[in-house]
Amino acid sequence: MTTPFQITRRSILVGAAAIGAIAPAILPLAAKASEEPPAEMKPADLSHLLRKKVELVAPPFVHHHTQKADGPPKIVEFELVIQEKKMVIDDEGTEVNAMTFNGSVPGPLMVVHQNDYVELTLVNPDTNELQHNIDFHSATGALGGGALTVVNPGEKAVLRFKATKAGVFVYHCAPPGMVPWHVTSGMNGAIMVLPREGLTDGHGKELTYDRVYYVGEQDFYVPRDEEGNFKKYDSVGESYSDTLEVMRTLTPTHIVFNGAVGALTGDHALEAKVGETVLILHSQANRDTRPHLIGGHGDYVWATGKFRNVPDVDQETWFIPGGTAGAALYTFEQPGIYAYVNHNLIEAFELGAAAHFKVTGEWNDDLMTAISTPEGS
């Protein structure tokens, strides 16, 4: 059966025109590029490079990696399998027809070192309904790879790019005609390109981390019925037009960390010990955000995530523009539960953009003490 969503490369423009009024102004480039091979080129001979295959893990965790490069640049192989699936995004059972890389929102974090080559296999199983692709903000050319990776259900593509810039970068789906829908349905993640010599403070001091966590902030736009209840749909395609209407209000119904309200709080809190240094990576592919660690700080912060810049120090809150991934390094000094929030506090407390750090260790009375606990006067 043909639906407006099962479009082929050749009918991208027709499909796009039918789907959204804004799309045609942006899409011809993408459609043209995906139909044609790259312009005249001399294939790069990388046969002398070592290859490494990485098994990705679901956020907030990050696959094993070394902080400094352990040799010359290599080809690092990753695979992302696109999964369209229903996900529950709050404790009231609200559902979205999510689109995901590897089944999680956000998609998994990839780690390479500067000047490594990323070789990504992007798989769109034939059980999916829609066409997808991937745009790496860390890549150069062809719409970040988006023009070379448009895959219909049942297809896969392999993209290789050289990670020339060090930093944390967003990746996201950007299919012709439906970019914001796919991004706000969960198809985004991040890649960290570490300097080959590891992180520094920009003044010669090496910076290392004991743990790294990846927080992906997601805005969802869930349609409501006449009574104000969130609607459910049998398929992602069926949810499209209602969801687009809500998206155009620019008013998310949910703003969450890692796919759902509470995904990183309570029993799912991020763990650390006093004295440990934690690297917190935070991406938002679509909206601005302003992370804040309640009761802590950002010792070293690359708010826009790019490691050739000197990090800001001793930050209280940092600003990550939409379409960016930031990095903050903090050494915990006190035990306890810390809330890590988007410090638009309405977005944190009312819409869900909050996580917890559960930190164990010895209390430092010098840093803080209760001289007198609350009592009646």
- Residues contacting 374, CB < 8 A, separation 6+: none
Structure tokens at 107: 């998609």
- Establish whether 137 is a catalytic residue: yes
Closer residue to Cu ion in complex, CB, 98/329: 98
The residue within the footprint of Cu ion, chosen from 120, 148, 159, 173 (CB under 5 A), is: 173
Show the CA angle centred on residue 248, arms to residues 247 and 251, nearest 5°. 60
Q: How far is the CB of 140 from Cu ion (least distance, A)?
A: 22
Q: Which of these ranges, 180-188, 194-202, 211-219, 332-340, lies near Cu ion under the rule CB under 5 A?
A: 180-188
- Residue 335: C-alpha distances to residues 267, 291, 296, 361 (Å): 17, 20, 11, 5
Structure tokens at 7: 């479009």
Q: Is 172 in the site for Cu ion (CB under 5 A)?
A: no
Marked catalytic residue, from 119, 135, 219, 347 = 135
Marked catalytic residue, from 70, 197, 316, 350 = 316
Q: How far is the CB of 297 from Cu ion (least distance, A)?
A: 37
Q: How far is the CB of 329 from Cu ion (least distance, A)?
A: 32
- Establish whether 48 is a catalytic residue: no
The DSSP annotation for 23-41 comes to HHHHHHHHHHHHHSPPSS-
Q: How far is the CB of 230 from Cu ion (least distance, A)?
A: 22
Q: How far is the CB of 348 from Cu ion (least distance, A)?
A: 28
Marked catalytic residue, from 65, 113, 172, 254 = 172
The residue within the footprint of Cu ion, chosen from 182, 287, 290, 292 (CB under 5 A), is: 182
Q: Which of these ranges, 25-33, 96-104, 226-234, 325-333, lies near Cu ion under the rule CB under 5 A?
A: 96-104
Return the residue matching tokens 């953009």: 353
Closer residue to Cu ion in complex, CB, 131/265: 131
Marked catalytic residue, from 247, 292, 324, 356 = 292
Q: Is 187 in the site for Cu ion (CB under 5 A)?
A: yes
- Establish whether 297 is a catalytic residue: no
- Establish whether 292 is a catalytic residue: yes
Q: How far is the CB of 30 from Cu ion (least distance, A)?
A: 13
Q: How far is the CB of 105 from Cu ion (least distance, A)?
A: 12
- DSSP classification of residue 320: B
Closer residue to Cu ion in complex, CB, 173/247: 173
Q: Is 287 in the site for Cu ion (CB under 5 A)?
A: no
Q: Is 132 in the site for Cu ion (CB under 5 A)?
A: yes
One character per residue 51-70, x = contact with Cu ion (rule: CB under 5 A) = --------------------
The DSSP annotation for 201-242 comes to -SSS-EE--SEEEEEEEEEE---B-TTSPBP--SSTTTTHHH
- Establish whether 208 is a catalytic residue: no
Closer residue to Cu ion in complex, CB, 99/320: 99
End-to-end CA gap in the chain: 74
Question: If we measure between CA atoms, which residue out of 170, 208, 195, 194 comes closest to residue 304?
Answer: 170
Return the residue matching tokens 């479009």: 7
- Establish whether 234 is a catalytic residue: no
- Residue whose Cβ sits closest to Cu ion: 173
Q: Which of these ranges, 52-60, 97-105, 243-251, 331-339, lies near Cu ion under the rule CB under 5 A?
A: 97-105
Compute the distance between CA of residue 157 and CA of residue 9 in angstroms, rounded to an integer. Answer: 14
* Peptide bond connecting 180 to the previous residue in cis, omega within 30 degrees of 0: no
Site size toward Cu ion (CB under 5 A) is: 5
Closer residue to Cu ion in complex, CB, 27/301: 27
Q: Which helix (H) or strand (E) holds 346?
A: helix 345-349
**21 CB neighbour count, 10 Å cutoff:** 8
- Residues contacting 241, CB < 8 A, separation 6+: none
- Surface-to-core class of residue 142, CB atoms within 10 Å of its CB (0-12 exposed, 13-18 middle, 19+ buried): middle
Structure tokens at 91: 């404790």
- Establish whether 317 is a catalytic residue: yes
Compute the distance between CA of residue 282 and CA of residue 270 in angstroms, rounded to an integer. Answer: 14
Residues noted as catalytic: 132, 135, 137, 172-173, 182, 187, 292, 316-317, 343
Tell me which residues touch Cu ion (CB under 5 A): 99, 132, 173, 182, 187
